[in-house]
Structure 1
């Protein structure tokens, strides 16, 4: 009984081992078939996957475009500020509508009002020399008449000794030499003036007259204008516009006279003299001047100087977008002039530019950067 049971157990164990061996072989075969099926599927489906790549790329590009648009929108939002109408009233925010203007490009240069003392000293020196010359000539004429009288008496009556005639001749020769010397001094003074001052300024100094008196009475002033390096004054330019430094409303025009005899010792640009027929300038004052160029006029809008605020080293102005929002626009590419900054982009005719309270808007725009004293990081 025990032997039969042992044989049965052994027979059963052998059968189980065969089954386990067969199941392992089947699993290996099944794994190989699965791998081959996956490879085949990838081979046949690869064209379909390739056709899907552009669409995915397009989706990525669209996403990048959206990011770019978001950056632009965020950038514009960063340059704008919103202020309630009540707050605008308290800050005296005012704006004006821009109109189309035509601007002729100008060169920005520097000028100085010539002190009348320089002209007066030169005029006085030459006037004194001419007066001395006239006195010498009067003395010469007197000596000449005395010599003629003595010669006449000597020939008529013989009552005049030759010694007196010779003495009168010597005095006349000395008077002639004195006159020649005085004449040379006058010529030297005139030459010195003409070497320092161009025509017609030199003639005014030498001869005096009405124009010289207008300068001396400060009813008119003489401007010395120095152009920027490598810039030249066009022959067609007869007038320029000047503006007194830090006084935007003190402006005027000056008429070209002539090029200076010598260049400015500090600045290396061309130097010219202009006549200002206004009496509102102080002697020695430094001015900003705008000299027209040969370029043609172009269409633009004029941004007044009271609209300009400075930030990050460049000029800006605020565009009123609606009742409560304002946009900060760069004026870096604008053209400076006496009236303001002419701009061809950023602002357009019909836009409203802030003319009062722009600094308040700039402060409000960066208000978030101000540390709140109530916030305690500790």
Structure 2
């Protein structure tokens, strides 16, 4: 169909020259925003036990020195046997308390490793880990990712895509953190932890996730979903062929990234894609196909 430059300007027709991009195929997974309160509670308990250990070590050091002084004085007959026994008892009690503090810390570390894995446990053990701070301030959220049972996480994966269920147009990038030590209740597949910007994500919210596969990246083009129009259940776009000529083109296959589509066939780099006004072009195309009424 044809539309003069003047008509195009009046209709607000806008085009975009497509450029090549490459993308790895993805597979879908399940996710939800994790409650980090248990991890924060763990970090709080850890701080308290570390403080107790510091106090017990200091106390033990003091009682050990006192015992050594008393033992020396007793050897020189300058301290009684009772004083030596009291110093020994004090040192033994302090040593027991220091050992108990160390044992409690070891138990807590084991608990953290069993529940959260080495990476997240390390956040809790760190005096001020930046990732944990961002989670605490709700700048980021912790995401539990569950893969389908037949899938494994491809080696070298660093980024995943996340969106609220049914809201693929608003995806966010998630950073893969570590494998999770426990299987979740979503699937019996592999489980992983990721961190993503908080934005509109809330604790407990179920998410859709997309994980890049190990397959080689494929070449194609990417364009805004607003360029797509549907007719007879199929997606179409308009390309500008000449200054005043447009052609409707079927998109046989696509990867839906929400606000944008990735397409490997149907359109190509260098094509001039109509990104605004496609619906008007469709109306004009089919209006031109309607036979003029016979005035007779």
TM-score where L is the length of structure 2? 0.71
Residue 208 of structure 1 is aligned with which of 113, 124, 127?
Answer: 127
Match of 1:327 among 248, 272, 284: 248
Q: 2:71 aligns with which of 151, 168, 172?
A: 151
Contact 1:319–1:347 (8 Å) recurs in 2: no
Match of 2:184 in 1: 264
Give the CA RMSD over aligned residues: 4.2
**C-alpha distance in 1 between matches for 2:82 and 2:231:** 94
- Asked whether the 8 Å contact 2:29–2:209 carries over to 1, the reply is yes
Q: Which has the larger radius of gyration?
A: 1
1:193-232 alignment, distance < 5 Å: 193-211=112-130, 215=134, 216=136, 222-232=142-152
Larger mean Cα displacement after TM superposition, 135-144 or 205-214: 205-214
Distance change >3 Å, CA 357–CA 224, structure 1 → 2: farther
Q: Offset of 1:126 from its aligned partner?
A: 1.0
Per-residue deviation, residues 30-87 of structure 1 (Å, max 9, x unmatched):
xxxxxxxxxxxxxxxxxxxxxxxxxxxxxxxxxxxxxxxxxxxxxxxxxxx9999888
Unaligned regions of 5+ residues in structure 1, if any? 1-80, 368-378
Partner of 1:190: 109
TM-score, scaled relative to structure 1: 0.58
Looking at structure 1, the residues matched to 33 and 122 of structure 2 have their Cα atoms a distance apart, in angstroms, of 19
Map of 1:24 onto structure 2: none
Query: Match of 2:111, SS?
Result: helix
1:268 to 1:303, Cα distance in 2 relative to 1, 3 A: farther
Residue 127 (structure 1) shift: 1.5
Q: Which residue of 1 aligns with 2:51?
A: 131
Q: 1:98 aligns with which of 14, 18, 27?
A: 18
Structure 2 Cα separation of the partners of residues 140 and 355 of structure 1? 74
Determine if contact 1:221/1:281 at 8 Å carries over to the other structure. Answer: no
Unaligned 5+ residue runs, structure 2? 288-296
| Structure-2 residue corresponding to 1:316 | 235
> Alignment length, in residue pairs?
281
Conserved? CA contact 2:240–2:273, under 8 Å:
no
Say whether the 8 Å CA contact 2:169–2:257 is kept in structure 1.
no
| SS across alignment from 1:261 | coil
Correspondence list, 1:271-286, <5 A:
271-274=191-194, 284=203
Q: 1:212 and 1:133, CA in 2 relative to 1: closer, same or farther beyond 3 A?
A: farther
Q: What is the CA–CA distance in structure 1 between the aligned matches of 2:112 and 2:276, rounded to whole Å?
A: 51
1:346 counterpart = 2:266: yes
- Tell me the CA shift for residue 303 of structure 1: 3.8
**What's the offset of the Cα at 1:141?**
2.8
How much has 1:129 moved relative to structure 2? 1.0
Higher RCO by CA contacts (8 Å cutoff, separation 6 or greater): 2
- Matches of 1:191 and 1:360, distance apart in 2: 64
After superposition, what is the alpha-carbon deviation per residue over 1:287-312, rounded to whole angstroms, capped at 9, x for unaligned?
65543322223333334323235678
Instruction: Supply the distance in 1 between the matched residues of 2:272 and 2:126 (Cα, whole angstroms).
Output: 56
Counterpart residue number, 1:293: 213
Answer 1 or 2: which has greater strand percent.
2
User: Per the alignment, do residues 143 and 102 of structure 1 end up closer, same or farther by CA in structure 2, a change over 3 Å counting?
Assistant: closer
Quickly say closer, same or farther: Cα 1:95–1:201, change in 2 above 3 A.
Answer: same
User: Post-superposition shift, 1:354?
Assistant: 3.2
